[in-house]
Amino acid sequence: MSNIVSNMDKPDRVALAQGTRQLLQPLASLLLKCGMTWKEFAELARTVFVQVASREYGIRGRQTNVSRVAILTGIGRREVGKIRQAMDEEGPPLPNQTTDATRVLSGWHQDPQFIGMDGIPHDLTISGSGPSFEELARRYAPDVPPSTMLKELRRVGAVTDVGAGGALRVTRRYYQPSQLDAQWILNAGSVFADLGANINHNLGRRSGDGSWFLGRATDDRIEVRAVPEFQAFLEKEGQQFLERVDAWLTAHRAAEATPPAETRKITRLGVGLFMIKGETDKQTGK
């Protein structure tokens, strides 16, 4: 059962406001790049406040009633009702292909059937006997038609055509959509959501719950000329770490043939790794 946070449990309002500003700055920068106004954001924020309050503060697993949502959010009961009705009428969310596409690319780089003795991924035919892209796609993204997956990977430059026989060559290990296209935006939202879920878990966890790993390594007195060297270092070391994580996840992935009635629970698991750089560079000795 979730309870409304008491005044004694609430964080310092100054610290909360400062932390929220820091949280919103990169989000505001992203939204401005995409052409969203503050009024559009405010309307979305109202909807999300109602959505989260309805989902997370109910009693015995039920949806939170309208009056309780109104108290939590400060939004009038009538408006809460309108927002919830609009949410119920929304269509299905846009599919985020990031996970499926990355799984296909990772399989192409790791699965012994699709790599050579030297560890280099094979060039694949689209279909036919022997290792093919269709077989790869069905193995690692069974819910997405292989033709749709191939079209997307070609579009972002992760797969190219080589030779006269129509062979396919993988050029990237991870899926990165083109800047500011729909998949890029969905991917950005997913990254923000994952980081936010980690922080929310660690701040609100109950006694006995384990914390989720969250760590940073930063220093605010690094000379600007060292940035390219750090980028190269992170590309190498970070990539190797993510490949080990990816191999672990692949080894522990539940079989696709697991019956729906299987008692084991399935969850999403992973880790995020990203470069940090301050927006302003301090001058030495200042």
> Taking a C-beta distance cutoff of 8 angstroms, is the pair 13, 38 a contact?
no
Neighbours of 75 (CB within 10 A): 19
Q: How confident is the model at residue 281 (pLDDT cuts 50, 70, 90)?
A: very low
| Mean pLDDT along residues 232-249 | 88
Q: How confident is the model at residue 8 (pLDDT cuts 50, 70, 90)?
A: very low
- Identify which has the larger pLDDT, 262 or 52: 52
DSSP tag of 121: B
Q: What are phi and psi of 123, to 5 degrees?
A: -75, 135
Mean pLDDT computed over every residue of the chain:
83
Spans of all domains in the chain: 1-91, 98-170, 215-279
User: 98-170 in CATH: which number?
Assistant: 1.10.10
| 3-class DSSP state of 159 | strand
For the cut 90, the answer to whether the pLDDT of residue 14 exceeds it is: no
Give the amino acid at 103: R
| Mean pLDDT along residues 186-206 | 83
Largest CA distance in the chain: 71
What pLDDT is stored for residue 257 in this prediction? 57
| Mean pLDDT along residues 90-117 | 82
pTM here is: 0.60
For the cut 50, the answer to whether the pLDDT of residue 286 exceeds it is: no
Out of 71-85, 97-111, 140-154, least confident range: 97-111
- Which residues make Cβ contacts (< 8 Å) with residue 198, sequence separation at least 6? 212, 214
Cα distance between residue 175 and residue 153, in whole Å: 8
- Please name every residue paired with 145 in a beta bridge, in sequence order, or none if there are none: none
pLDDT 10s digits, 25-38: 888 988 887 778 89
Q: How many CA atoms are closer than 13 Å to the CA of 74, on its beta-carbon side? A: 2
What pLDDT is stored for residue 94 in this prediction? 65
What pLDDT is stored for residue 1 in this prediction? 37
